[in-house]
Structure 1
Amino acid sequence: MLTLHTADVLLSGPGREPLPAGAVLVEGDRIARVGPYEELAAACPHARVRRWPGVLTPGLLVRGADELLERTYYPDDPYETAELGAGPISGAEALADLKPTESRWGNSARRATQKLLARGVVAVAGTLTVPAVRTAVSRSGLTLLPPSPAPGTPSLDPFAGCGSPQEAFHGVLETGAPARFAAFAVADPAQLLARGATTCVATVISGRLLHRRR
Structure 2
Amino acid sequence: MLTIHTDSGGRALAVRGAWIEAAGSLEELLAAHPGARVRRWPGVLTPGLVNPHGPELLQEAYHPDPREADALGTRPLTGDALAALAMDEARWGASARRGVQRMLAHGTVAAAGELRPGAVRDAVRRSGLAVVGRIGTPGGTPDLDPCASGLPLTFAPPRERGSAARFAVFDVRDEAELAERGAGTCVATVVAGRLVYRGR
Quick one: which amino acid aligns to residue 82 of structure 1? D
Unaligned runs of 5+ in 2: none
- Residue of 108, 115, 120 corresponding to 2:95: 108
Instruction: Output aligned runs, 1:162-177, within 5 Å.
Output: 162-163=151-152, 167-177=153-163
Count the aligned residue pairs.
198
Quick one: which amino acid aligns to residue 95 of structure 1? L
CA RMSD of aligned residues (A): 1.5
User: 1:73 aligns to what SS in structure 2?
Assistant: coil
When normalised by structure 2's length, the TM-score is: 0.92
Tell me if structure 2 keeps the 8 A contact 1:61–1:124.
yes
Tell me if structure 2 keeps the 8 A contact 1:7–1:53.
yes
**Following TM superposition, by how much is the alpha carbon of 1:83 offset from its aligned partner in structure 2, in angstroms?**
1.7
When normalised by structure 1's length, the TM-score is: 0.87
Matches of 1:190 and 1:146 in 2, distance apart?
26
What residue number does 1:63 align with? 52
Unaligned runs of 5+ in 1: 10-20
- Residue of 130, 148, 153 corresponding to 1:143: 130
What residue number does 2:144 align with? 156
User: 2:27 aligns to what SS in structure 1?
Assistant: helix
What residue number does 2:106 align with? 119
**What are the superposed Cα offsets for residues 24-51 of structure 1, whole Å, 9 maximum, x if unpaired?**
1112211111111112111211011000
**What are the superposed Cα offsets for residues 78-134 of structure 1, whole Å, 9 maximum, x if unpaired?**
2x122222222111x222211212211111111100000101111111122251111
User: Percent identity between the aligned chains?
Assistant: 53
**Following TM superposition, by how much is the alpha carbon of 1:155 offset from its aligned partner in structure 2, in angstroms?**
1.9
Tell me if structure 2 keeps the 8 A contact 1:64–1:147.
no
Tell me if structure 2 keeps the 8 A contact 1:202–1:209.
yes
Find runs of 4+ consecutive structure 1 residues off by over 4 angstroms: none
